[in-house]
Amino acid sequence: MVSRVVILIDSSGGRADSIDWKLLGTVVSEIGELYQTVKEQDTDLILVDENRHDLTNAVAVRLRRPNGLTEIRRVGSGEEPAFRLEPYIDGYLSRTLGQDGVGQKVQDILSDKALLEKFRMIGRSPAMKMVARTIERIGPTEVPVLIVGGSGTGKELVARALHESSSRKTNSYVTVNCGALAEGVLESELFGHERGAFTGSVAKREGLFHTAEGGTIFLDEIGETKPDTQVKLLRVLEDGTYYPVGSSVPRRAKVRVIAATNRDLAEAIAERQFREDLYFRISVVKIVLPPLIERRQDIQPLLQFFWRDNPKLEYADSALELLCKYDWPGNIRQLRNFASRMAALKPKGTVDVADVERFIAEQHAGATHLPVTTGKTVEEAGQELIYRAILSLGSEVRMLRDLITSHLPSEGMGVGFEPRSSLEPKSGTMEEMEKVMIEKVLADTDGNRKEAARRLGIGERTLYRKLGKYRLR
């Protein structure tokens, strides 16, 4: 990769500089000259003197229009400042490192960019650089890898990068979504089956572990597998053996396993929905993919990547600012959805604030259960969500109070009835009322936790957590 570095120095003078910047890249002294240089040549890194206060967010956005992956770093005379840098600045470079130290730091920055490009990962955030470095280190090994991240964060992209950076890259790469198949079907898909093993199996079929022999198998959403399948997967990881459905003859597989999940497997283990021994086998190395909300500086380059076939499609600075404030619950997949829509509606136009607001409003209308905020800072969004949570909590307290009151004895009950039952709370705290309601509903359902969760209007996993919290198990 041919790299380009541009340095914007302080033109006021008055300070001797120990670094010969011309050895590192093109040196300019005016913003206009910087604009022209970036426009004329592909720029990977811009170093800006800390005394240049004319580099604002608007200037940074404009500088990155030719290439959203261009990094901008401040250069100062001291150690990296303890205070937070401007959000449009990617980092800090100290002159105290000396000529060789600064040169090495620049090379490290460019090496990280090269790794991201090698693995076809779009971004300049520190989190994605860390992911790329991890892939570079563990890709050539044989260890199983667990990729953890929300839906739409790019787990399959990482899995393929791991395969392509390994010695198995010339062999098969097989992927299966464990959450999309019923348990019996999944077992047959993974391990194959013999003729007559079940109704409809008119011929013998090899499984995906056989197909992936010598290569890599990617088990997406492994957290959705059932215990019986987990046992069989554990056997493959332990000694490489498996049994096709309907067969008593073991088969062997020399396959590297990469798994992914968007679930909290620690919670699933606590709820006995996922085997702890399997977890330790698949997570020898764990790669955590951050949600898009934690890598907002990647939004601009991702948009440019999605619009690479629409060079005449522009975006207003204000539209980009609003996009960077949105929470993106669907992560990169949702951003790509937005980009595709704009490419279809405005192939030669400009995406403005109204377009972004319309898109966000539609997302909110289609998923009212998500804590979506629009056009607000993180602090404003947090305050609004807390306010909504307080209102919701007050409503739940009133509902619980009414439910408990409806089960209390009336004044006309016969003499000798104990007015305070063992299930009635001895005080009015929220936790005590909640505990009473759970006990009452469990008693009414004869301990059927699935039915109890349905009546309480909560998920089964939530009920299990509350049972542990109140020691009701």
Cα distance between residue 441 and residue 423, in whole Å = 11
Cα distance between residue 76 and residue 95, in whole Å = 6
Cα distance between residue 163 and residue 255, in whole Å = 11
- Reported as half-sphere exposure (CB side, CA atoms, 13 A), residue 76 has a value of 12
Cα distance between residue 134 and residue 141, in whole Å = 11
Backbone angles phi, psi at 376, to 5 degrees: -120, 155
55/197: higher pLDDT: 55
Q: Residue 412 corresponds to which tokens in the numbers above?
A: 């006309």
Q: Determine the residue type at 382.
A: G
Q: Residue 66 corresponds to which tokens in the numbers above?
A: 């030719």
Cβ atoms 196, 245 nearer than 8 A: no
| pLDDT over 80 (residue 167) | yes
Cα distance between residue 68 and residue 231, in whole Å = 46
Cα distance between residue 428 and residue 112, in whole Å = 57
| pLDDT over 90 (residue 364) | no
| pLDDT over 50 (residue 419) | no
Q: Determine the residue type at 211.
A: T
**Which class is 293-366 in CATH?**
mainly alpha
The strands making up 5-8's β-sheet, listed across from edge to edge, are: 26-28, 5-8, 45-49, 71-76, 91-94
Q: Determine the residue type at 84.
A: R
420/438: higher pLDDT: 438
Question: What is the band of 381 on the pLDDT scale with cuts at 50, 70, 90?
Answer: low
Q: Residue 221 corresponds to which tokens in the numbers above?
A: 């959403």
| Same CATH fold assignment for domains 5-118 and 378-409+419-469 | no
Give the position of tokens 């030719």: 66
| pLDDT given for residue 1 in this prediction | 40
Cα distance between residue 214 and residue 184, in whole Å = 25
Cα distance between residue 127 and residue 133, in whole Å = 10
Cβ atoms 152, 334 nearer than 8 A: yes
Q: How far apart are the first and last CA of the chain?
A: 60
| pLDDT given for residue 426 in this prediction | 46
315/369: higher pLDDT: 315
DSSP class per residue in 296-350: GGGHHHHHHHHTTT-TT-EE-HHHHHHHHHS--TTHHHHHHHHHHHHHHH-TTSE
Q: Does 5-118 carry CATH code 3.40.50.150?
A: no
Q: What percent of the chain has pLDDT over 90?
A: 55
Provide mean pLDDT across the span 240-245: 87
Provide mean pLDDT across the span 279-306: 95
Q: What percent of the chain has pLDDT over 70?
A: 81
Question: Hey, what CATH topology would domain 128-288 get?
Answer: Rossmann fold (3.40.50)
Reported as a single tens digit per residue, the pLDDT across 134-156 is 999 999 999 999 999 999 999 99
What is the total residue count of the chain?
Answer: 473
The reported pTM is: 0.74
* Segment among 43-57, 58-72, 190-204 with least mean pLDDT: 190-204
Tell me the domain boundaries of the chain: 5-118, 128-288, 293-366, 378-409+419-469
Cβ atoms 274, 230 nearer than 8 A: yes
Cβ atoms 259, 147 nearer than 8 A: yes
| pLDDT given for residue 198 in this prediction | 63
Q: Cβ-count burial of 427 within 10 angstroms (0-12 exposed, 13-18 middle, 19+ buried)?
A: exposed
* Segment among 6-20, 187-201, 386-400 with least mean pLDDT: 386-400
Q: Does 378-409+419-469 carry CATH code 1.10.10.60?
A: yes
| pLDDT given for residue 412 in this prediction | 43
- Cα–Cα distances (Å) from 450 to 144, 165, 432, 465, in that order, read 35, 45, 22, 13
| pLDDT given for residue 109 in this prediction | 95
